[in-house]
Amino acid sequence: MTPKHRASWAAVFIAAAIGCGSPGPEQEMEVRRNWAIAIHGGAGHFGEEDLTAEQQAVYTASLSAALAAGEGVLQQGGTSVEAVEAVIRIMEDDSLFNAGRGAVFTAEGIQELDASIADGLTRNCGAVTGIRGYRHPISVARSVMDSSEHVFFSGHGAGAFAAAMGHEPALDEWFFTKKAHKRYLRAKRRAVKTDALADKKGTVGCVALDSQGNLAAGTSTGGMTYKKHGRIGDSPIIGAGTWADNRTCAVSATGWGEYFIRTGVAQDIHGRMLHGDETLVEACRSAIFDEMGELGGDGGVVALDATGTIALVCNSAGMFRAWSSPDGRGVSMFGATLEGTVEVK
Ligand code: ASP
């Protein structure tokens, strides 16, 4: 049985387990969602008590609007790569999230952005880190994937590539928000005493499965508040924060990037499925709880397999997340998805 077939069986089992219909045995290998999508808006130490009803409504509306853009692309037969880029562009423009406009500040008081995108069909990918002055880092990452012989550009090189490709520039004022700046000033005051990096959330990410059966993933972020000069987190690193391979899964991560890099979370999930016989959900659980979490890291992933099984798995108190497929859509924020209660849609 190929990993893809195993994923099909897993999807059927999970769909049946959550009451999405229980097909007879002869149908089991047939069941496959025509399209599916999941997004996140960051993970962190926040619970219901930390957000007012109005704030929750604002996050719900933002997540829902971004999701709708991806749903539209997929329902009209667009590709998973197009859906991922469309969703993330909206979230990069939404100052609620730590990506594009609203990105957090570095220890030097500037905004340096990271993004990556991966195509499960071709197993091609593109990424940028430390890019400044371009409105949509995810689109620059896509250009790296589509139009460059390289896969990863940093700093001024990423900017030079973005300029050469005609990407939309944006001034510092575009990215500035009072919220992110206040967080930076607070982190600066505490920098010598506490771990300023603990104050994080808002990275955005998306995974999608299109009607052609192709997976894609993307992630975009400002990183972590008060990150040191040149620090690179997991979000632009293919294999840590982002992964897509039609044989196994699409993954976008959010959380304490150093730990996601140390355990290669996104590629760990892929490897467990490809070589270790694990289902999407088992692989996400192992990578988040047994590996990354064991070292002391926190955060989560949104992930899909080629049958449209959606896994939303985190060990943090909260993760902004939303998902959709022909079976329905939803948004949620609170509650770590602890072992045994992994959130599966
Ligand atoms: N993973 C991101 C980073 O470490 C931050 C986040 O997801 O909140 O840069």
Q: Tell me the per-residue pLDDT of 12-22, one tens digit each, with 9 for 90 and over.
A: 333 322 223 33
The domains found in the chain, sorted by start residue, are 3-334 (3.60.20.30)
Does residue 257 have its Cβ closer than 6 Å to ligand 1?
Answer: yes
Average confidence (pLDDT) over 125-147: 98
Does residue 270 have its Cβ closer than 6 Å to ligand 1?
Answer: no
Does residue 307 have its Cβ closer than 6 Å to ligand 1?
Answer: no
262-282 burial, b for 16+ CB within 10 Å, e for fewer? bbbbbbbbbbbbbeeebbbbb
Q: Please tell me the distance between residue 294's alpha carbon and the centre of ligand 1 in angstroms.
A: 18
Q: Please tell me the distance between residue 23's alpha carbon and the centre of ligand 1 in angstroms.
A: 40
| Residue 46 pLDDT | 87
| Residue 15 pLDDT | 32
Average confidence (pLDDT) over 169-174: 97
- Look-up of token digits 């890019």: 131
| Residue 198 pLDDT | 55
The residue contributing the CA closest to ligand 1 atom 7 is: 254
Indicate if the pLDDT at residue 166 is higher than 90: yes
Indicate if the pLDDT at residue 23 is higher than 50: no
What is the pTM for the complete model shown? 0.89
Indicate if the pLDDT at residue 111 is higher than 50: yes
| Residue 333 pLDDT | 92
Average confidence (pLDDT) over 111-134: 98
Mean of the per-residue pLDDT values of the chain = 88
Tell me which residue of 19, 92, 41, 10 sits closest to 322, measured CA to CA.
41
Phi, psi of 202 (to 5 degrees): 125, -10
CB count, 10 Å around CB of 148?
14
Average confidence (pLDDT) over 302-319: 94
Q: Give, for ligand 1, the residue of 106, 183, 256 to mutate: max count of ligand atoms closer than 8 Å to Cβ.
A: 256
Q: Please tell me the distance between residue 146's alpha carbon and the centre of ligand 1 in angstroms.
A: 25
Query: What band does 190 get if pLDDT is binned at 50, 70 and 90?
Result: confident
Q: Please tell me the distance between residue 197's alpha carbon and the centre of ligand 1 in angstroms.
A: 10
Does residue 130 have its Cβ closer than 6 Å to ligand 1?
Answer: no
